[in-house]
Amino acid sequence: MYLLEEKQYFWMLLIIPMLVVLFLILSAWRYRAQRKYAESQMLDHLIPNRSWFKPILKLVTICFGIAFCVFALVNLKAGTKLETVKREGVDIVFAVDVSKSMLAEDIAPNRLEKSQQLVTQIINNLASDRIGLIAYAGSAVPQLPITTDYGSAKMFLQSLNTELISSQGTAISEAIQLAESYYGEESEAAKVLVIISDGEDHEGETASVAEAAAEKGIRIITIGVGTPKGGTIPIKRNGIVKEFKKDREGKTVITKLVQENLTEIAEAGNGVYIDGTITANVIEELKTELSGIDKTEFESQQYADFESQYQWFLAFGLFFIVLDVFYLERKTGWVRKLNLFNE
């Protein structure tokens, strides 16, 4: 297990492309200045020890030195020991709708990104609960099994997009059935399924599936993203809206939040419906709902005794920087005789 303690220093890697650009500009200026005095063939006689390869080698060396020094500043830490810790919490599975309708921008920035923000903030406010992640559209696809690794959950969450599942639709019932397989049969922890969607369910059996899940001890909470007024579904290329999604008759599709569907699913699943417009309200309502659920103690393993590894990167960085000092831009004598670089 590795941790990056000071990630903000990664911005310093921008020095490398800046150096490359500066090198190219300087090389072009030097070439034009030399051509004012003599042709290329004459320059080879006037400056016989000139090397085209050495400046590039010096640039590569200093870039390696800078890169390793930046990684030293980031301070990579490695976990050296696994320890078992006891936690109290519930098992929460998030099922996120990734159908095309989630691209509608009736709620900023769009429904899918709003869903990602909501789940991220919910995770940030959890203490010791275990979480899982499912993506669904026309079918449901597992993304992350039940875990206490919140960092991985956020990473998988941010990778969700509407191209993840080819079949379109809103198969909420399939997401519920897939979530059932997430909870361990031997686990005594309370089971919670949080569905984030615009509620455009194209199946008619979702309520009965939610009721069956509730009988197995799964409480279903639904969060609606979107507005009853609805919005169009933009089709973008390179971040620019080119057109809007149309139906078979050529009419622009208007997708709306169907709160009734989500409310029906939540009631059948012994849970509640939450309006996802205001993030703070979602978190408070979810906290209230979870506070009424008995927490179960369970064991999980996590890395401890993280040790800094910066010294290795610093050593390599200093090595390359010092090595660059010893490089001269003229040809090396014995290499010149071998003519390895055809100079």
- What are the structural domains of the chain? 2-75+309-338 (no CATH), 89-300 (3.40.50.410)
Q: What is the pLDDT of residue 325?
A: 78
Percent of the chain clearing pLDDT 90 (strictly above): 42
Q: ω before 109 within 30° of 0 (cis)?
A: yes
Which residues does the chain have with pLDDT short of 70? 1-4, 34-52, 79-87, 186-187, 201-204, 296-306, 328-343
Q: How far apart are CA 19 and CA 324, in angstroms?
A: 14
Q: What is the pLDDT of residue 68?
A: 92
Q: What is the pLDDT of residue 341?
A: 47
CA dist 274 → 149, 220, 247 (Å): 26, 11, 30
Give the mean pLDDT of the chain. Answer: 83
Q: What is the pLDDT of residue 278?
A: 92
Contacts of 291 (CB under 8 A, 6+ apart): none
278-324 residue pLDDT tens: 999 999 999 898 888 877 665 555 555 567 778 888 999 999 888 88
